[in-house]
Structures are given as C-alpha cells and as structure tokens.
Chain A
Amino acid sequence: MIQIALFIWLLPLAAFVINIFIGKRLPRKGDWVSIAAIGASLVLSSILLFRVITGYNPDFSLHASLHWINLGGFKLDMGFYIDNLAVIMVTMVSLVSFLIHVYSIGYMDGDPLYNRFYAYLSLFSFSMLGLVLWDNLFGIYMMWELVGICSYLLIGFYFTKDSAANAGKKAFIVNRIGDFGFLIGLLVVFNFLGTFNLIDIQQDIGRGLLSGGWLTAAGILLFAGAVGKSAQFPLHVWLPDAMEGPTPVSALIHAATMVAAGVYLMARLSFMLSFDAMMVVAFIGGFTALFAATIAITQNDIKRVLAYSTISQLGYMIMAMGVGAYTAGFFHLITHAMFKAGLFLGSGSVIHAVSHSMKKIGMEGDPNDIRNMGGFKNKMPITHWTFVIYALAISGIPFFSGFLSKDAILGGTLAFAMSQSNPVYYLLPIFGFVAAIITAFYMFRLIIKTFYGKPQLKKLYEHVHESPLTMTVPMMTLAFLCLYFIYTLPSLGPVGAENGWLMHLIQKPFSAVAVQLGRPVYGITPQAEHFAHVNGLIISIVFALTGIVLAFAFYFWKTINVEKFTEKIKPLYTLSLNKYYFDEIYGATFVKGLLVWNQILAWFDQNVIDGLVNLAGRVMRVFSVFDGLFDQYVVDGLVNAVADITLGFGRGIRKIQTGQIQNYILGALLGMVLIIILTMI
C-alpha cells in the first residue's frame, strides 16, 4: 500500500520533469504526459480508497518512514502516514486534478505557454499529494511552500498582464505572513518535543511534554499557516485577486485543493488543539464565513463572487474544526471541492464562450462581468444545468451533497454552543445560519443574472455557444458527484450521512490534549446533540429556501426593485461592493505605515544623528587648529627627517626590485630558511 502511495505521489513529479524540459517538443505539447500521470494517480488512489472502504475500519492507519537526514544530534525521518483521512483526501485531489487536466485541453487550447501550464499543474499535483501523505510537519511545511509557489506561478500565468503579476505577488506575500506563523509554530513544537513526526508529537503531547500556554500558542501559530493558505480573515485579501489566473487553476488550486490544505492541516493537527486554540479557530472561521458571504452579494465579476463564496465555505470548515465537528468539517471539504470546482469550471465555460464571442464581434470588455450576460440558458444547456446542480448543492438543498455536509457543520456548531454555559458561543451558529441564507441568495443571483432573463447584449449573446466535450464532460462528472447518495451509501436516506461510508471512516480522532488533561477538551451533551441535529436540519432547509426565494424575488420576478432597495441601504451596499475597504485599509495602514516609519527614521537620521555628527565635527575643528600648529612645526619636522632618511635608503634598495617573481620567491625562501635555522639553533 505504501508503494502504491509512493507511485501516486511521484508520477506527477515525473510528468513535471518531462514537461518542463522537453514538453514543447512532444506531440500535442506534452499535455498527455501530465494527464496520463495524474490519471494513473487517480486509478491508484481509487484502488486505495476501494481497499479502505471494503476494510471499513475507522482506525485504519499505516506508517512507513526512512531516515532522511542524520546529523549528529539532529535526525529527520521522512515517511508517509496513511489513514482514512489521507486516502479520501488523496482520492479527492487526484480526481479533481484529473478532471481539471482534461478540462484544460479545451480551455487552454492555443495558449503559447500550453506545455508550461501542464508542467505547473503536474508540479502542483505532486506537492499537494505530498502535503496530504507526509507523516511529519517538516515535510508538510516543505510541500506547503511548494503548493504556494505553484499557486504563485499559476496566478501570474498571464504574467504579461500587470494585474496578474501583481495578484501573484500579493498572494505570495500575504501567504508569507501566515507561513511565518506556521514556521514559528513548527519551531515551538520542535523545541519542546525534538521531533516533527506527527505520531511522536501525538504521544509526547499525551505525556504532557508540551502543555498549557505553549500548547495553545503552538496550535494558534500553526493555525496561522492555515489562515494564510485557506484565505481566512484577516489574510483573505489574496484569494479574490488570485482569480487573475486561468479558470482551471482557480478551480483546482483556489477552490478545491490548495485552499483546503489549511483545513486539512487543522484536521491533521486537531489532536493538539487546546480549548483556547480551538476557540480562536472557530471564531475566525465563523466570522469569515459570514463576512465573505456578505461581500459576495454585490460583486459583479463572476469569478470574484465564487472566490468570496470559497472563502466563506472555507470559513465553515475551519469553524467546524474549531468546535470539534471534525468529521463534518472534513466532509464539507470533500463535497465543497466537488461543487466549487464545478462552479469554477462552469464559470470558465461561460467566460470561454463570452470571450470568444467578444473576439468575434470585435468588442472590448471584461468577459467576467455578469452585467453583460443573461439568457445563456438556451445557448449553453449543459453548462446551465450543471451550474444549477452545483448551486443547489452549495445552497444546502436536500438531495444534494452540500446539504449533508453543511447541515452536519451547522448541527455540530449548534450542539457545541448549547453545551457551553457562556452564551457568547451562540454567535458561532448564528454566523453559520446567516451565512447560509446569504450563500443561497448570491448563488441564485449569479445564476439568474447569467443564465436567465433577457440577454443584456444582443450581439454578444448570438455568438455564445456551448463548450467542447473536453470541458463539459468534467463538469458533468462533478455534477454527478454532487448527488447526495454518493456520500450516504450504503444507506439511501436523504437527510443525513451519519450512516454513510465517509462519516463512518472519518470518526472523531483521538485527542492528545484530552489524554494530557485526563478529561475531554470540551463537553457536548447528548440532548444538545439530538436537539441540534433535528432543529439544525429544519432551520438550514428553511434558510436555504428563503435565500433562493429572495434571489428570485429580486432578480427574476422583480417583485422587489433592486435599484430602489440598494438606494435604501446605500452605505451597506457600497461597503460590501468595496469589500469593506480591506485592500485600502491594508494599503493605508501596513504599506503606508511602513513608508511613514521609513520617513521618521530618515528624519531621525538627518536631524538627530547628523546633528550629533556635525557637532562632533565642529568640536574637532576647533581642536584641529591647535593641533595643526603643533603638527606643522614639531611633527612635520620629524617626519621630514624620517622621510629623507628613507628616501636615501630607497634609492639604494630599489635596485633589488627586478620585477622577477622568482627572485622574490627565492628571497622569501632564504629568509624563511634563515629564520628556521636561527630558531632551531
């Protein structure tokens, strides 16, 4: 099984190496190499998944490692830690990655850097799979940085465009802040435990080698990495800009896999989160879920709406990790990967059609703007129907995957809040439920504006056509994966996945912190759990439907006039449209602040330090006058005498300077011989 995992991991690397060096000269520019590699990874990971499902053992795990570095006192092992979590995640990554490889054949067709695009995709797959499989934090950190660099390369893929290059830089720098926290967290862990290995860390924490404030600090610092990578508040600003990259990249990296790496990391590390750390995680996640959703309502760029939606959904998952609804969070990660990748592919299909149509009619403009669309339902039936399925899934409508996972998260959050004595924890379910209404609302706003109603630009509309099969087949596959029964098998009940294979295999993990404390980290009463399950279900269905109906009322039936309504809540509307001015705030505080600080330092230099130096200079000048007189008569006289004597000698000795290097060597040699003989005798 380890060998299979090794192949899964290394095949994309081989494809990367082939494509980056000789991809250009291969037939079809080498896309088949990458596709074959990731396809093979998909087949192999399906074999793993099949074995895991047939094994049906929630405690299954496999660990194998090699010595990698052995430097005196410092030892580092490298290996794989394969449990149900990793197997399911690997299958998800290779599946989505494979579908997007196929989709890109159509989408990237004719791009001058076609082979490089595939090389980057392969490198990304390799690093993402490594991140999932590796057994130690150091390796995970390495892979973490590798996916970061792939993200940077692919966001800036159209690097001739200024905005794309800047977006790449922004993503990289913002991620750096989070990764720095991750690095410090790693060092804290290593300092206390002397190991990076997850299993050893688990045991050592259970024994109490890392506890109290430092444990909480380590948890929060490691979470900082997840905040950066998963675009959580306050480091969320990079993800919307990252939409400058090609759409398949947005689907793969910025929707399904890389941004979910933060959630995955939290799942892997959930055993070491203390209660305080969990609360930080939960509140950041919950707040992000609501906050990003409110921005998504007003955006007009189809991909930006999806980007904010991604941030919001990631917030859900992070919140779930924080309240200990580990299974639900991971479940949502998987279902979200399917429908959000699908949404991006659908939007890519629309953008592809619009930009081709624009080229045909010679129109300049932004192909992503939904204000130019409308009525595409008839022209692009497959895109439309798959898009509707994804939207139903993300909104949490029964019979679709998103309903099961989102409901599980909301139920878990509600149960957690009800079991705590402090009412402030009720904020978490409130964040979640409000975000659920908004999610349904903005998704259907997007659908209605794009696919229904009258075409906004007649000429543009006429040249829009359905995308080729290489693009529609992945979309249909993902739509199929959004159906509920895939996750509830072997049972077919549509209201919950508790009996499904996924929730059976991913059970609440052992908590090393609980072992250390000798009691559960937090308590959840069975009554609360039951109540939350039943009521959460009802509330979330009602809220989702409310959101959809509101969207229809605003944009389809037009029973509420949108313009008048936005006029009424103008301040809120502009706030949301401008993303709460976060970019501006960061620009004004951090970037400007740095510049101002620099100016202060410059002023200090100029006035204080220079002033001191000048003062010293003046004092010295006064001294110098006296000094000069002394110099002129006493010192100079002596010096001149010395110089005259030296000159006389020099006149004689310069004859020896022949310029012959060997003479010099001989001289040096004889001198050395003389010295040695003198010291010996």
Chain B
Amino acid sequence: MIQLPSFLIISAIVFTLGIFTILYKKNAVGILMGVELILNSVNLNFIAFAKYVDVGINGQLVAIFIIILAASEAAIALAIILSLYRERATIDVTLVDEMKD
C-alpha cells in the first residue's frame, strides 16, 4: 500500500486544497499559507519520484532548492504584508484594488 500512487494522491489532494485556499481566503497571510501548501505538495511529488522512478537523487535536490525558495518567498511576502498593513491597516486583499480599470 505504501506505493507511488498513495503519495501522488496525497499530493494531489493537498495541491487542490492549496489552490482552493488561495482563492478562498481574503486574508493575505491565508493566501501565503495556501502557497506553502502547494509548494509542499510539489515537494512530496519530487521526492516520491526520486524514490520510485529511476532519476537518481535529483528529485531530492530539486526539493531542497524549492524549500530554500519557499523560505525566501515567505520572508519577502511577509515583508510586503507588513508594509501593506502599515500603509492601510488592513491585509484584506480584496480591498487592495488600485490596479483596477
């Protein structure tokens, strides 16, 4: 039962939930959480393929780079959210619509 499909299914479910989170939340931090879920599910895929498919260790290395990118992304995103909050006293993304029309 602990086979490639199990991991792919878990990964697919979490990926879907991540997309859903991004669309559903109005809170910018919530959207960030959705992004993290997506990145994690992708990582799980890479690592699962590294084990079950003949690609050597490259899957794990890609996963490491994704984790590092996620860390930078989270830091930058939080900094943006903080400065947004200071400017507007809100982090509701639906209220940030200067770019419309």
Contacts and interface: CB of A to CB of B under 8 A. Distances in A.
Q: Do chains A and B touch in the complex (CB under 8 A)?
A: yes
A658 B100 contact: yes
A421 interface: no
A659 B98 CA distance: 6
Contacts of A660: 93-94, 97, 100
Interface of B: 19, 22-23, 93-94, 96-101
SS class, residues of chain B in contact with chain A:
loop
Contacts of B23: 662, 665-666, 669
A669 B23 CA distance: 10
Interface string A656-668: 0111111001100
A80 to B, nearest CB: 37
Given A657-B99, A665-B22, 7 more contacts: A657-B100, A659-B101, A660-B94, A661-B93, A662-B22, A662-B23, A669-B19
Contacts of A669: 19, 23
A666 B93 CA distance: 14
Interface in A635-674: 654, 657-662, 665-666, 669
Contacts of B93: 660-662
A657 B99 CA distance: 8
B97 A658 contact: yes
B26 to A, nearest CB: 8
Contacts of B19: 669
Contacts of A666: 23
Contacts of B101: 654, 657, 659
B99 to A, nearest CB: 5
Interface residues of A, number: 10
A554 B72 CA distance: 77
A658 to B, nearest CB: 5
Nearest to B19: A669
16 contacts: A657-B99, A658-B97, A659-B96, A659-B98, A659-B99, A659-B101, A660-B93, A660-B94, A660-B97, A660-B100, A662-B22, A662-B93, A662-B94, A665-B22, A665-B23, A669-B23
Nearest to A662: B23
Contacts of A659: 96-101
Nearest to A666: B23
Contacts of A661: 93, 96
A666 B97 CA distance: 16
Most chain B Cβ neighbours within 10 Å, of A657, A658, A659, A665: A659
A658 B101 CA distance: 6
A666 B100 CA distance: 16
B88 to A, nearest CB: 14
Contacts of A657: 99-101
